[in-house]
Every structure is written in structure tokens, then in C-alpha cells.
């Protein structure tokens, strides 16, 4: 199985080898090509561009548009959750070298602050799920958050990448596998956060599970990386169909036009 080298280059990743062949001819020379059989349902191809080539942030080959992710990987612009999960599993060990950790922690802290402002839970313990927790940076964010409510927060992480989840657990975050998360009872969490996740694609099943697991009055708070208006609207539609409703953001939100915060709530009964 392919693993990210210590000094990563620039890559194109897709389910189709044809995409890599076309990119080689039309975008930049591809100097190596690896086939990765992830499961019976998923085989992906990883092509490494010539390190001397200048590869644009986005490009189209055939009928596919590709966009850069984590500064090194070009994936189909149409979100493909299985492909994204496979990539994160492959580069889990190097993930924190590929991202701006301080920016990630700051983003998670903003989501937590919005939860505390919007949720208004009077419970002794505020149960929060980190949906797509990655390597568990939410635990670091929580531990350094300046709030009187920090001691009341019980944080749990879920990620579809087993390798990421192992790293998060070693960090000390309480974690759930996807299967255990999917089987949780209704009303498990006061809030769900998702940091740098929803731009990778959410399914209707994901949104319905999140809605089910929230208590009445619970909230879902996420950021939408790159602020794609179409993507934000599509995600909002999925959440609305799951029974959640948009809530005005509190004035303390630190989101930006390029990284807007999405806030939805579950009606109180």
C-alpha cells in the first residue's frame, strides 16, 4: 500500500487511472503511478507529478475537475467521501505536518465557543461529538480554551479513518468507530462539531444520524472550508431534510467569508 513519503510532492488521486493519464498529458508530467486496493469496493490511483512542475490549484481533465487538498493532493472537485477517507488514512502519520495545526486548533475553539453560546445547556455535563475528529486536535483545543464551561465538556471523537482514530485515541481523546457511532441512541449529544470536514462531503445518512443523536435544543456547528456557496447550500439542504434548522450565529463567531461557520439546531419538544 502506498504511503506518503517524508518529503511529499504533488499528487493526483482518483478512482480512475484515466484521470492520471490525462493529467500527465494535459497538466504536468506524472513521474510515478501507484494502484491502491483499499477494499473490495474501492481502488484508487495515486499519480505523483514531476517535482519541478508547477501544478495549478485546480484543473480539469476530461469531464472531471480536480482541486488541491492539504497543499499536496488533487482530488475530484465533486466530494467523494470514500476517496477522502482513504487519503486521510494513508497520510494519517504525516497529517499534522501537512496542515496548519495552530489554525486548526483555533478553528475548533471557535466552533466550541459557538456551541457554548448557542446551545445554552444547563446540564452538568455538556456532551459534544467531534465528527471527523482526525488526529484528535479537538482535545488540544479544548484543553487550551479559555471558558468557565471547559470542565463541563465531555468530548468524544468519531472518524472514518481507522488510522486517524488510533492517533486520536493515543492523544487521549475518547473515540468511537463509525459502526459504534452509527448505533448510538437518540439524544446522546448536546452538540456536534465538524472542523474542516463538511467541504469533503456529507451524506444524507450522516445528517440524519447527527440529527437523531442530538438532544432537543442541541446544535450542529461546522466550518465550510473555502466558503463555496453552492456547497454550503447543498449541505444546508441535507441538514434541513434531516430535521435541523438554521440558527443565527452569535456575534462572537470568528468565521470568515472564506471559512464560514454553519450553525443548525434541533427543535425543542
Tens of pLDDT, residues 107-129: 999 999 999 998 766 778 999 99
Pairwise CA distance, residues 269 & 187, whole Å:
12
Question: Would you tell me which CATH number, out of the four given (3.30.360.10, 3.40.50.150, 3.20.20.140, 2.40.70.10), belongs to the domain 101-266?
Answer: 3.40.50.150
Could you give the CA distance from residue 132 to residue 163 in angstroms, rounded to a whole number? 12
Give the whole-number percent of the chain exceeding pLDDT 70: 99
Has residue 145 got a pLDDT over 70? Answer: yes
Instruction: For residue range 23-71, list pLDDT tens digits in order.
Output: 999 999 999 999 999 999 999 999 999 999 999 999 999 999 999 999 9
Residue 188 scores a pLDDT above 70: yes
Split at pLDDT 50, 70, 90, the class of 81 is confident
Instruction: Map the chain to HEC letters.
Output: CCCCCCCCCCEEEECCHHHHHHHHHHCCCEEEEEEEECCCCCEEEEEEECCCCCCCCEEEECCEEEEEECCCEEEECCCCHHHHHHHHHHCHHHHHHHCCHHHHHHHHHHHHHHHHHHHCCCCCCEEEEEECCCCCHHHHHHHCCCCCCHHHEEEEEECCCHHHHHHHHHHCCEEECHHHHHCCCCCCEEEEEECCCHHHCCCHHHHHHHHHHEEEEEEEEEECHHHCHHHHHHHHHHHHHCCEEECCCCCCCCCECCECEEEEEECCC
214 close to 189: Cβ distance less than 8 angstroms: yes
Checking if the pLDDT of 269 tops 90, the result is no
Percent of the chain with pLDDT over 90: 82
The reported pLDDT for the residue numbered 121 is 64
Q: What is the pLDDT of residue 76?
A: 94
What global pTM score does this model have? 0.93
Q: Domain ranges for the chain, please list them.
A: 11-98, 101-266
The whole-chain average pLDDT of the chain stands at: 93
Mean pLDDT of 68-90: 92
pLDDT tens digits, 206-241 = 999 999 999 999 999 999 998 888 889 999 999 999
| Per-residue pLDDT at 149 exceeds 90 | no
pLDDT at position 236 is 94
Task: Decide if pLDDT at 2 tops 90.
Answer: no
What is the distance between the alpha carbons of residues 109 and 86, in angstroms, rounded to a whole number? 27
Decide: 186 and 210 in contact? Cβ < 8 Å: no
Per-residue pLDDT band for 6 (boundaries 50, 70, 90) equals: confident
What are the tens digits of pLDDT across the range 245-259?
999 999 999 999 889
For residue 146, what pLDDT is reported? Answer: 87
Q: What is the mean pLDDT of residues 77-82?
A: 89
Q: How many CA atoms lie within 13 A of 202 on its CB side?
A: 31
Amino acid at each position: 500500500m502506498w504511503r506518503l513519503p517524508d518529503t511529499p510532492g504533488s499528487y493526483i488521486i482518483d478512482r480512475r487511472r484515466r484521470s492520471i493519464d490525462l493529467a500527465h498529458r494535459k497538466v504536468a508530467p506524472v513521474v510515478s503511478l501507484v494502484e491502491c486496493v483499499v477494499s473490495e469496493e474501492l481502488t484508487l490511483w495515486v499519480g505523483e507529478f514531476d517535482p519541478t512542475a508547477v501544478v495549478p490549484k485546480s484543473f480539469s481533465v476530461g469531464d472531471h475537475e480536480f482541486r488541491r487538498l492539504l497543499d499536496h493532493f488533487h482530488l475530484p472537485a465533486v466530494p467523494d467521501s470514500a476517496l477522502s477517507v482513504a487519503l486521510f488514512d494513508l497520510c494519517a502519520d504525516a497529517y499534522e505536518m501537512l496542515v496548519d495545526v495552530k489554525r486548526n486548533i483555533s478553528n475548533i475553539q471557535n466552533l466550541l465557543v459557538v456551541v457554548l453560546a448557542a446551545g445554552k445547556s444547563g446540564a452538568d455535563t455538556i456532551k459534544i461529538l467531534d465528527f471527523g475528529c482526525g488526529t484528535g486536535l479537538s482535545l488540544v483545543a479544548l484543553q487550551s480554551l479559555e471558558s468557565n464551561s471547559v470542565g463541563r465538556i465531555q468530548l468524544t471523537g468519531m472518524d472514518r479513518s481507522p488510522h486517524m482514530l488510533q492517533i486520536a485515541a493515543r492523544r487521549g481523546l475518547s473515540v468511537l468507530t463509525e459502526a459504534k457511532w452509527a448505533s448510538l441512541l437518540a439524544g446522546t449529544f448536546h452538540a456536534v462539531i465538524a472542523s474542516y470536514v463538511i467541504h469533503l462531503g456529507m451524506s444524507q445518512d450522516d445528517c440524519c444520524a447527527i440529527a437523531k443523536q442530538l438532544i432537543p435544543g442541541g446544535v450542529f456547528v461546522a466550518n465550510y472550508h473555502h466558503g463555496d456557496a453552492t456547497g454550503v447550500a447543498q449541505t444546508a439542504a441535507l441538514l434541513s431534510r434531516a430535521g435541523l434548522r438554521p440558527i443565527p450565529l452569535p456575534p462572537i463567531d470568528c468565521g470568515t467569508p472564506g471559512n464560514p461557520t454553519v450553525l443548525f439546531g434541533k427543535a425543542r419538544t
